[in-house]
Structure 1
Amino acid sequence: MAFVVLASVSCGAREPVASPDSMTETAATSSAAPVSATVAASPTPSPTAPPKFSAKVSRVARDRVPYSWQSGCPVHLRDLRLITMTYWGFDDKPHTGELVVRETVTDDVVTVFRKLYDWRWPIKQMKLVDAYKADDFDSIEADNTSAFNCRRATGSSNWSNHAYGEAIDINPRENPYVTASGSTAHENAKKFTKRPTKGKGVVNPGDKVVKAFAQVGWEWGGYWSGTKDFQHFSKGGG
């Protein structure tokens, strides 16, 4: 019987009961030991990255172009498309803008504006010219980037490439229409009449904006002889 009791104790079926003296010693040791606590550091929040470029191409509803399109325009309404896309603003933030162009050039436009956004190349604003009742002068005064507008070319009786939905004016204040004599009709654009020049949203000869348009077959009005239209890009020129 003695052998059985010893075996039971050695297997640890129960812990030996501590004596009062040993409990006091343990408590004293525990209270004297310094207590250290490790507090997990809060992770540093990473800045939120700007959204990726996006573009949506859709048909143009008649009520979206109440002033810029009318019967008799060289391009029918059914052949126009609305591009709703991301652009990088002068405030260094992403924005959503709209351009109306001809269906046949939508891929060209999306390709170029994707590059501009990825470069963080700034655009002041991008609204349909109908926000200004299709008044080209008022749209330019507001430094508005726009495309389709069924109107005649400046100083001509011929249709502008804008009337075909195959031209875009970008940052028209920073990139004004300049006559051969060096003047511009917009007071707020006078300091931008020379090229090359520095400034946010400025297009200069041979820069990456001009090259991006050239890669899809668009020409820049800044290369015209005599009159310069620094804001103007069009499919095939003109």
Structure 2
Amino acid sequence: MLVVAVLCASCASSRASRAPAPTGTAVVPSSPAPVTAPAVPDLPDAPVVAVPPPEFTSTVSEITPELATRMEPSWRPGCPVPLEDLRYVTVTHRDFDGEKVQGELVVHADAAEAMVTVFRTLFEAGYPIRSMRLVDDFDASDDASMDADNTSAFNCRAITGGTGWSEHAYGRAIDVNPVENPYVSGSSVGPRAGRAFVNRPDSPGVIHDDDEVVRAFASVGWLWGGDWDSPVDYQHFSPSGR
């Protein structure tokens, strides 16, 4: 019986070693789930905003050889100011239809920035200018430039009715809208079309005492020929008052 008991105990031990392990008691760690970025919704492209060019633009430059050739009618050796002391200036102005136009002037170097300041002010005020071209486009004829109602500055010429140098010959004078603002000496009016404006009507381009044009030039120290007693030069501005 002792032998049988030992054998039974051995069988029991053998069965125990072959018994399956209990389930549900051990957790096997798993790999973490992949992380995905949240979906980004499709957005419309940002609108392209065009940046408009500045309303007023200007340039100041020295007289190039090409420009000197163009200026042969208005400048010559013996003029009271050398070419290197002059500057070519472009400014935006409004014409009589309100359209923006790029005009051009030649003035003395010490007047260039002042003219930019003046015409920026006049542009912002909406003051119209018929034409602003070099007097050379009129073969340096002051009469032809005035007849065309052209605003111009430098011209190596004598004073009207005299022999001394005009302030225009130094690039330190400008004539603005000559038809609307004529030169009046007694019964003589220049240009001829300016007779319609001798009585200074309240019309576009006409310059009046203490208006935006006179004030703009006064702000840079330039005086108006409309304040002269005789002759009266309504188109004329200069720093010397002559």
TM-score calculated relative to the size of structure 2: 0.75
Say yes or no: does 1:183 pair with 2:188: yes
Report the alpha carbon displacement of residue 100 of structure 1 after superposing the two structures with TM: 0.1
Distance 1:184 1:49, change over 3 A: farther
Greater gyration radius: 2
Pairs within 5 Å for 1:163-182: 163-179=169-185, 181-182=186-187
Distance 1:98 1:191, change over 3 A: same
- Alignment partners' CA distance in 1, 2:192 and 2:52: 38
2:60 aligned residue: 57
**Among 75, 79, 91, the residue aligned to 1:85:** 91
Q: Which amino acid aligns with 1:59?
A: E
CA contact (8 A) 1:148 1:162 kept: yes
- Alignment partners' CA distance in 2, 1:165 and 1:154: 16
Report the alpha carbon displacement of residue 236 of structure 1 after superposing the two structures with TM: 2.1
1:123 aligned residue: 129
2:239 aligned residue: 235
CA contact (8 A) 1:143 1:171 kept: yes
Report the alpha carbon displacement of residue 169 of structure 1 after superposing the two structures with TM: 0.3
Structure 1: segments with no counterpart, 5+ residues = 1-47
Distance 1:50 1:172, change over 3 A: farther
Report the alpha carbon displacement of residue 63 of structure 1 after superposing the two structures with TM: 1.4
Q: Which amino acid aligns with 1:192?
A: F
Report the alpha carbon displacement of residue 147 of structure 1 after superposing the two structures with TM: 0.3
- Alignment partners' CA distance in 2, 1:201 and 1:223: 17
Report the alpha carbon displacement of residue 234 of structure 1 after superposing the two structures with TM: 0.5
SS at match of 2:61: strand
2:17 aligned residue: none
SS at match of 1:113: helix
Say yes or no: does 1:213 pair with 2:220: no
Q: Residue deviations 1:24-70, cap 9 Å, x none?
A: xxxxxxxxxxxxxxxxxxxxxxxx97841111001113113110000
SS at match of 1:123: coil
1:192 aligned residue: 197
- Alignment partners' CA distance in 2, 1:50 and 1:223: 38
1:9 aligned residue: none
Report the alpha carbon displacement of residue 91 of structure 1 after superposing the two structures with TM: 1.2
Q: Which amino acid aligns with 2:224?
A: W
Pairs within 5 Å for 1:25-36: none
Pairs within 5 Å for 1:85-164: 85-164=91-170
- Alignment partners' CA distance in 2, 1:194 and 1:79: 38
SS at match of 2:188: coil
What is the alpha-carbon root mean square deviation over aligned residues?
1.5
TM-score calculated relative to the size of structure 1: 0.76
Q: Which amino acid aligns with 1:236?
A: S
CA contact (8 A) 1:177 1:230 kept: yes
Q: Which amino acid aligns with 1:146?
A: S
- Alignment partners' CA distance in 2, 1:50 and 1:228: 40
2:207 aligned residue: 203
Stretches (4+) displaced over 2 A: 48-51
SS at match of 1:122: coil
